[in-house]
Amino acid sequence: MPDTHLLLGQTLTLAGDPFAAPVDAVARIDSRGAVLLRGGQIAATGTADDLRRAHPKAVLHDYGDRLILPGFVDAHAHYPQTAIIASWGKRLIDWLNTYTFPEEMRLADPDYAAAIAARYLDLTRAHGTTTVCSYCTIHPHSVDALMAEAQRRGQRIVAGKTCMDRNAPEGLRDTAQSAYDDSKALLEHWHGVDRLGYAITPRFSPTSTPEQLAALGALWAEHPDCLMQTHLSEQTDEIAWVRSLYPQALDYLDTYEAHGLLGPNGLYGHAIHLEPRERARLAETGAALVHCPTSNTFIGSGLFDMAARKAEGLRVGLATDTGGGSSFSMLRTMAAAYEIGQLSGTALHPAQLIWLATAGSAEALNLGDRIGTLAPGFEADLTVLDLASTPDIAQRAARADSLWEALFPTIMMGDDRAIHAVWINGAPA
C-alpha cells in the first residue's frame, strides 16, 4: 500500500473560473482544512477533524495556519535561458541576438544542458512551481535533458525542441525536414510517458520559413493531442518584421493558421497587440494565450489586457517567461499581473491571480482535469504558503480580516521565503 499523507492547514479551493463567476460562488476556504494524499493523487479534501477521524493511520503534516494550494503552473518558459535571466537593457530582437542565442548555443554541450535543466527545476521548485511548459533549444538532447530530469523527480512537464531555420545564428538553425524529423522522434519517445508531454515548438514566424511552419503543421495534424507552443504579437517592431516576411498574410496569426498551426491545443505566448480578427479567430478555435507580465514590462513589450481577453471568452494562462521574464517566481508574476491590470483599469482579485497561476494555466495547457485544483482525483502537486514569511508581510497580514486580505501581501511581496513546503506527485519535494 502506498503511504497516505494528511496535510492540515488553511485550504483554498477554486471550483470554477473567478473571471466568469463571483468569487464567493467558486471559492471554498477552510480555515482548518485538510488534504489527503495517496498514490500520487489527492484522495480527499475536507475539514481537519473529519479527515483525521477517517484516516487515523495517515502520516500527518500539520502546517498550522499556512495556506495549502495547488502547485503553481508556469505556462511559458525557456529553461535554456536560466543563466541569463535579468540581463540588462534590450528590446526583444536585440535581446535575442545579444543574450539568448549565444546562451542557447552553449546547450550544444549535453552536459551543460543537463546541468541547466537540473538548476532550472531546482529554482522553480523553490518558488512553489510544480508544472512547467518550456521551450528547449534546437538540440534534441536539450529536450532529453529536461524530460529526463523531470522524470527523475516525478514531475509533470511539457516541453519541445525549438525549431528555427532562418534569422538565427548558424549554430541554432535546423531545416524544415530536420525540424519535423527531430520533433517527431522526440514526441514519439517522450509524449505520454509518466508525467511528460511534448509540445511542437516553432519559436516564432520570423525564425521559421513557410516550409518549416508547414512541416510542423503537418506533424501537429498527425499528433493533434500534443500542444503546439509559439510566440505571437509580443512587440510592435516584431509585428512589422513579420509583415515584411509574410506579405501575403492577413496578420501575424494568419502566418500560423495558413500553415496548420492554429487550434485548440495551440498555446500563444504574449499576444499583447492583437487585431480584432486575430482575437476572434483565437476565441473561435479555442486556442489559449499566455500572459507573461514580468517579461512584457522588462523587455518593454506592452500591456496585456487581461479583463478584455477574458471577457472575449479567450483561455488565458500565466507565465514567468524565463529568462525574458525577470523572476522564476509565480508570486512575483501574479504581482506583475496585478500591476498591469491596474494600468489597464482592472484590479484583479487575489482569487483571480491564484486561479491564473494554478487552474487557469493548467487549463491553458489542457491539463485542467489533472492539475491545478485541490479536489479528489487530481494529481498531488501542492504548494504550502507561509502568509507571514517576512516581517513586512507579517505585520500587514496580522491586520487582515479575511483570507484574501491575508493572502494579498504575500502575492505582492512574497518570494521563495513564502514557500513553506512543496509536494510533487504525492511526495515532499
In order along its 429 residues, the chain shows pLDDT tens digits of 468 999 999 999 999 999 999 999 999 999 999 999 999 999 999 999 999 999 999 999 999 999 999 999 999 999 999 999 998 877 778 888 899 999 999 999 999 999 999 999 999 999 999 999 999 999 999 999 999 999 999 999 999 999 999 999 999 999 999 999 999 999 999 999 999 999 999 999 999 999 999 999 999 999 999 999 999 999 999 999 999 999 999 999 999 999 999 999 999 999 999 999 999 999 999 999 999 999 999 989 999 999 999 999 999 999 999 998 999 999 999 999 999 999 989 999 999 999 999 999 999 999 999 999 999 999 999 999 999 999 999 999 999 999 999 999 999 999 999 999 999 999 999
Q: What is the pLDDT of residue 89?
A: 75
Is residue 351 within 8 A of residue 358, CB to CB? The reply is no
What are the backbone dihedrals phi and psi of residue 383, each rounded to the nearest 5 degrees, phi first? -125, 135
- Separation between Cα atoms, residue 301 and residue 340, nearest integer Å: 12
DSSP assigned state of 394:
H
Based on the domain organization, do 112 and 43 belong to the same domain? no
Number of domains making up the chain: 2
Parallel, antiparallel or unpaired: strands 227-232 and 266-270: parallel
Using a cut of 0.85, tell me whether the model's pTM lies above it.
yes
User: Left, alpha or beta for 241 (phi > 0: left; psi -120 to 50: alpha)?
Assistant: alpha
Based on the domain organization, do 394 and 288 belong to the same domain? no
Per DSSP, which regions of 102-163 are E strands?
129-135, 156-160, 162-163
Last residue of a domain, one of 317, 347, 364: 364
Based on the domain organization, do 116 and 152 belong to the same domain? yes
Last residue of a domain, one of 337, 364, 391: 364
Q: What is the pLDDT of residue 102?
A: 92
The CATH number of the domain where 345 resides is what?
3.20.20.140
Q: Is the peptide bond before 266 cis (omega within 30 degrees of 0)?
A: no
Neighbour tally for 53: CB within 10 Å: 9
- Separation between Cα atoms, residue 53 and residue 277, nearest integer Å: 57
The CATH number of the domain where 61 resides is what?
2.30.40.10
Q: How far is CA 295 from the centre of its chain?
A: 13
- Separation between Cα atoms, residue 341 and residue 117, nearest integer Å: 32
- Residue 170 DSSP SS3: helix
Based on the domain organization, do 165 and 304 belong to the same domain? yes
Return the closest-CA partner of residue 252 out of 285, 275, 284, 283. Answer: 275
Residues 6+ apart with CB under 8 A from 309: 271, 279, 289, 316
Based on the domain organization, do 109 and 249 belong to the same domain? yes
Q: What is the pLDDT of residue 93?
A: 80
Based on the domain organization, do 76 and 195 belong to the same domain? yes
Based on the domain organization, do 67 and 168 belong to the same domain? no
Based on the domain organization, do 76 and 65 belong to the same domain? no
Q: How far is CA 13 from the centre of its chain?
A: 19
* Cβ-based burial of 409 (10 A; exposed 0-12, middle 13-18, buried ≥19): buried
Based on the domain organization, do 279 and 267 belong to the same domain? yes
- Residue 81 DSSP SS3: helix
| H or E segment to which residue 104 belongs | helix 101-106
Based on the domain organization, do 358 and 394 belong to the same domain? no
Domain of residue 112: give its range: 72-364
What are the backbone dihedrals phi and psi of residue 426, each rounded to the nearest 5 degrees, phi first? 80, 10
168-173, Cβ contacts within 8 angstroms, sequence gap of 24 or more: 168/101, 168/207, 169/101, 169/102, 169/105, 171/105, 171/108, 172/101, 172/104, 172/105, 172/137, 172/138, 173/138
Residue 265, CB-side half-sphere exposure with 13 Å CA sphere: 17
Is residue 42 within 8 A of residue 378, CB to CB? The reply is yes
Is residue 11 within 8 A of residue 68, CB to CB? The reply is yes
The residue type of 26 is V
DSSP string, 234-301: --HHHHHHHHHH-TTSSSHHHHHHTTT--STTEEEEE--S--HHHHHHHHHHT-EEEE-HHHHHHTT-
Locus of grid cell 487530481:
378
Q: What is the pLDDT of residue 2?
A: 66
Helix and strand element counts for the chain (H, E): 18, 16
Based on the domain organization, do 188 and 279 belong to the same domain? yes
Residues 6+ apart with CB under 8 A from 69: 12, 354, 358, 374, 382, 383, 384, 385
Last residue of a domain, one of 364, 383, 400: 364
Q: What is the pLDDT of residue 1?
A: 46
Based on the domain organization, do 207 and 225 belong to the same domain? yes
What are the backbone dihedrals phi and psi of residue 312, each rounded to the nearest 5 degrees, phi first? -80, 0
The residue type of 175 is T
Is residue 198 within 8 A of residue 191, CB to CB? The reply is yes
- Separation between Cα atoms, residue 291 and residue 321, nearest integer Å: 9
